[in-house]
Amino acid sequence: MTLAVHELTQRIGRATILQDISIEVRPGEMLGLLGPNGAGKSTLLGALAGDFKPTAGRASLDGQDLARLDALARARRRAVMRQHGAPAFDFTVREIVELGRSPWVGRSTTADDRRAVSRALALADVERFADRATGTLSGGERQRAQFARALAQLDAPPSQVAAQRYLLLDEPTSSLDLSHQHALLTSVRRLAADGLGVCVVLHDLNLAARYCDRVLVLRQGRAHAMGTPLEVLTPATLEPVYDVRFAALQAGDATMLAVIG
Amino acid sequence: MSDLSIPAAAAVPRRVKRRLALVVFGVALGLAFLCGVGFGAVRIMPGDMLSIVLRSDVDPRLEAVFLAIRLPRAVLALVVGAGLGIAGASMQGLFRNPLADPGLIGVSAGAALAAVTVIVLGGSVLHLITPAQRPWLLPAASFIGGLIATALVYRMGTRGGTTSVATMLLAGIAVNALAAAGIGFLTYIADENQLRLLMFWTMGSLGAASWGVILPALPLVVIPALLLLRHHRALDAMALGEREASHLGIEVEGIKTRIVVLVALCVGGAVSVSGIIGFVGLVVPHLVRLIGGPRHTLVLPGAAMLGGALMLSADLVARLIMAPAEMPVGIVMAALGAPVFLSIMARRHAATAL
């Protein structure tokens, strides 16, 4: 039971975005995707979401070819939160979160939906402005609203809970203040502990070190390093990728990476 | 923005607002319909209408006016207004743009070019068809012209099974310009009588309303409009972005094609019997969103109801203001709708400002 890509190569036009990547997102774990801009992180996340046909190799969900599943079947098994523009019209936060329930139309009751929406609003800490239009919110508040939508989508109705589900996040903390960065990743961590499989694109190496079970470092579309944060997030591994110099600092029982030049 | 800026209107949940809005639109539509069939050179009161419907004793002239003149005209106004409203709402949802208009996919321009072609050059083919077919020539030509233009725009926006709405928008602008050039040329070579005819056609009129002309056109508008209603969930999801909609389980490519086809049929059917009536498709969905929020469970039926009500009112004014002469309804529509729209916008601005 995994969400996986196997020997995946993705070309867009003549550019090779990803080259020969194999990874799997396992139930109960958080897999981090790291790398500089243009390394192929979002494309890899898109491939895991089933957004496009692989140029070579395959993407699969619990052994089934992702390309064979229709959009609805995929939507019932995984939620995606991308880096986001504003919605086209002035929805309230609650309406955005309610949209997360659309894959379950016909499968869940109104009561199920209402419960799922209020749970998601609470978990993403957006209850306070749930009935405000997204146009009046800050970027971070909007990002949390999108997170709530993804959570509402994963809240399967009682008859469907048995299936394994996955959450794909593309820089979910990019607009968040410090405390909400940790709050969001802590919620995700807790969902993973309950069995959710999570793949998350992060830029902050220290957040990745703290919350991810494994990380994949991409460099120009290839897998540069893969393993636990302790194994991978070292100056020796990362310096050639980011082209900066790191120092590993000891703070309490945590190792922090700092850029020193 | 601080919490102080929460508008007072936000206190009413959107779910309640949506329900209220539908009730208000329904009442407005009912009233507009009664006025539309009731007022004119002869006044028909609701009591008389009931007698006519129940076939009890009533002045036969009154009955004739009601059944043969007022009723078909009101039905046509209702259907054209509703069709244009729902088509506009669907276009704005599909293009993720509140400034989109049913005309964007070329359907009105294609219909207008075909209609003007028939008006100016049609004389030379008239001997090829029987006199009984003549009233059909103009509606049929404009309907087909609208579909051809839309097919062209759609083809240009589609590559490898993927339709780009941005490319479609550009192609629509080009097709509109091309049609305008054709119409300009035909206008230039037209004689005075043809000029009058094509002028009135492009300003829109419901004057052609007789059961014979409108009955075949009604299903062309009503059926696509009803089918568009079913796409509310997809259009909601598309508002977040096409990729997001697909993540929510919507088959985006199929939906895009279906909406373009349904809008083309709906608008093509309406335009073929009423000529070009602007404003409804662009502004009515806005009004609905301003009143009850952007969920398409409200916007699609709301735009149909409000579009119908607005068209019935505009036609009433068009018939009465210069009686016994008739103003083109398109002019009235713009003159009536624009101030309403501006006032609602101004009030909303005042409500959301600090």
Evaluate if residue B197 carries a pLDDT over 90.
Answer: no
Of A235-244, B5-14, B70-79, least confident by mean pLDDT is B5-14
Residue-wise pLDDT tens digits, B293-315: 999 999 999 999 999 999 999 99
The answer to whether residue A230 is domain-embedded is no
- Return the pLDDT at B291: 87
The reply to whether B159 touches chain A by the CB within 8 Å rule is no
Same domain, A45 and A111: no
Tokens of A201: 């694109």
Please give the angle made by the CA atoms of A194, A197 and A198, to the nearest 5 degrees.
110
- Return the pLDDT at B129: 73
Which percentage of chain B shows pLDDT scores above 90?
40
The answer to whether residue B206 is domain-embedded is yes
Chain B residues near residue A153 by CB distance under 8 angstroms: 248
The answer to whether residue B6 is domain-embedded is no
Inter-chain residue contact B240 with A100, CB threshold 8 Å: no
Evaluate if residue B3 carries a pLDDT over 50.
Answer: no
How many domains does chain B fold into?
1
The reply to whether A140 touches chain B by the CB within 8 Å rule is no
The answer to whether residue A83 is domain-embedded is no
Domain that holds residue B307: 11-352
Residue-wise pLDDT tens digits, A71-82: 999 999 999 999
Tokens of B185: 């040329």
The reply to whether B244 touches chain A by the CB within 8 Å rule is yes
Q: What is the DSSP string of A112-165?
A: HHHHHHHHHHHHTT-GGGTTSBGGGS-HHHHHHHHHHHHHHHH---GGGTTS--
More confident residue, A192 or B332: A192
Same domain, A25 and A43: yes
Same domain, A65 and A167: yes
Mean pLDDT of B69-80: 92
B5, B98, B247 member nearest A89 (Cβ) = B98
The reply to whether A70 touches chain B by the CB within 8 Å rule is yes
A80, A91, A94 member nearest B239 (Cβ) = A91
The neighbour count for residue A178, using CB atoms within 10 Å, is: 8
B5, B13, B98 member nearest A136 (Cβ) = B5
Of A216-230, B11-25, B72-86, least confident by mean pLDDT is B11-25
Minimum Cα–Cα distance from A51: chain B residue: B243
- Return the pLDDT at B349: 65
Separation of alpha carbons A73 and A107, rounded Å: 12
Residue-wise pLDDT tens digits, A36-57: 999 999 999 999 999 988 999 9
Same domain, A169 and A102: no
B1, B14, B233 member nearest A105 (Cβ) = B233
Of A118-132, A198-212, B162-176, least confident by mean pLDDT is B162-176
Inter-chain residue contact B248 with A75, CB threshold 8 Å: yes
- Return the pLDDT at B1: 40
Minimum Cα–Cα distance from B5: chain A residue: A136
Return the closest-CA partner of residue B102 out of B114, B87, B83.
B87
* CA of residue A75 relative to chain centroid, distance: 14
Chain A residues near residue B352 by CB distance under 8 angstroms: 136
Minimum Cα–Cα distance from A46: chain B residue: B243
Residue-wise pLDDT tens digits, B26-72: 999 999 999 999 888 788 888 788 888 877 777 888 888 888 889 99
Separation of alpha carbons B92 and B284, rounded Å: 11
Mean pLDDT of A226-242: 92
If you average pLDDT over every residue of chain A, what do you get? Answer: 92
Inter-chain residue contact A153 with B248, CB threshold 8 Å: yes
Inter-chain residue contact A91 with B295, CB threshold 8 Å: yes
Evaluate if residue B132 carries a pLDDT over 90.
Answer: no
The answer to whether residue A244 is domain-embedded is no
| Local confidence band at B11 (pLDDT 50, 70, 90 cut-offs) | low
The answer to whether residue A101 is domain-embedded is yes
Residue-wise pLDDT tens digits, B254-274: 999 999 999 999 998 898 888
Which percentage of chain A shows pLDDT scores above 90?
79
Inter-chain residue contact B249 with A80, CB threshold 8 Å: no
- Return the pLDDT at A128: 94
CA torsion angle for B285, B288, B289, B294 (degrees, to 10)? -80
The answer to whether residue A62 is domain-embedded is yes
Of A42-56, A85-99, B39-53, B124-138, least confident by mean pLDDT is B124-138
Q: How many angstroms separate the CA of residue A246 from the nearest CA in chain B?
A: 37
- Return the pLDDT at A194: 93
Inter-chain residue contact A76 with B249, CB threshold 8 Å: yes
- Return the pLDDT at A182: 95
- Out of A132, A159, A186, pick the residue that ends a domain: A159
How many domains does chain A fold into?
2
B1, B10, B294 member nearest A89 (Cβ) = B294
- Return the pLDDT at B60: 82
Q: How many angstroms separate the CA of residue A186 from the nearest CA in chain B?
A: 24
| Local confidence band at B354 (pLDDT 50, 70, 90 cut-offs) | very low
Chain B residues near residue A96 by CB distance under 8 angstroms: 240
- Return the pLDDT at A55: 93
Minimum Cα–Cα distance from B234: chain A residue: A102
Separation of alpha carbons B253 and A116, rounded Å: 29
Separation of alpha carbons A67 and A61, rounded Å: 10
| Local confidence band at B6 (pLDDT 50, 70, 90 cut-offs) | very low
Inter-chain residue contact A75 with B236, CB threshold 8 Å: no
More confident residue, B338 or B228: B228
- Return the pLDDT at B4: 45
Of A17-31, A174-188, B39-53, B257-271, least confident by mean pLDDT is B39-53
Same domain, A72 and A186: yes
The answer to whether residue B4 is domain-embedded is no
The reply to whether B91 touches chain A by the CB within 8 Å rule is no
The answer to whether residue A250 is domain-embedded is no
Residue-wise pLDDT tens digits, A127-154: 999 999 888 899 999 999 999 999 999 9
Inter-chain residue contact A94 with B14, CB threshold 8 Å: yes
Return the closest-CA partner of residue B250 out of A108, A100, A43.
A100
If you average pLDDT over every residue of chain B, what do you get? Answer: 86
Same domain, A132 and A182: no
Mean pLDDT of A47-68: 92
The answer to whether residue B124 is domain-embedded is yes
- Return the pLDDT at B40: 83
More confident residue, B10 or B330: B330
Domain that holds residue A136: 89-159
**Which of A51, A76, A89 best probes binding to B when mutated, by most B CB atoms within 10 angstroms?**
A89
CATH of residue B197: 1.10.3470.10
The answer to whether residue A45 is domain-embedded is yes
Same domain, A220 and A95: no
Evaluate if residue A177 carries a pLDDT over 50.
Answer: yes
Same domain, A29 and A135: no
The reply to whether A12 touches chain B by the CB within 8 Å rule is no
- Return the pLDDT at B343: 79
- Out of A113, A132, A159, pick the residue that ends a domain: A159
- Return the pLDDT at B348: 64
- Return the pLDDT at B103: 82
Same domain, A35 and A129: no
More confident residue, B1 or B86: B86
Same domain, A174 and A65: yes
The answer to whether residue B270 is domain-embedded is yes
Inter-chain residue contact A71 with B1, CB threshold 8 Å: no
More confident residue, A99 or B159: A99
The neighbour count for residue A102, using CB atoms within 10 Å, is: 20
- Return the pLDDT at B214: 84
Instruction: Please name the residues in contact with A15: beta carbons below 8 A apart, sequence gap of 6 or more.
Output: none
Same domain, A73 and A99: no
Same domain, A181 and A135: no
CATH of residue A53: 3.40.50.300
The answer to whether residue A259 is domain-embedded is no
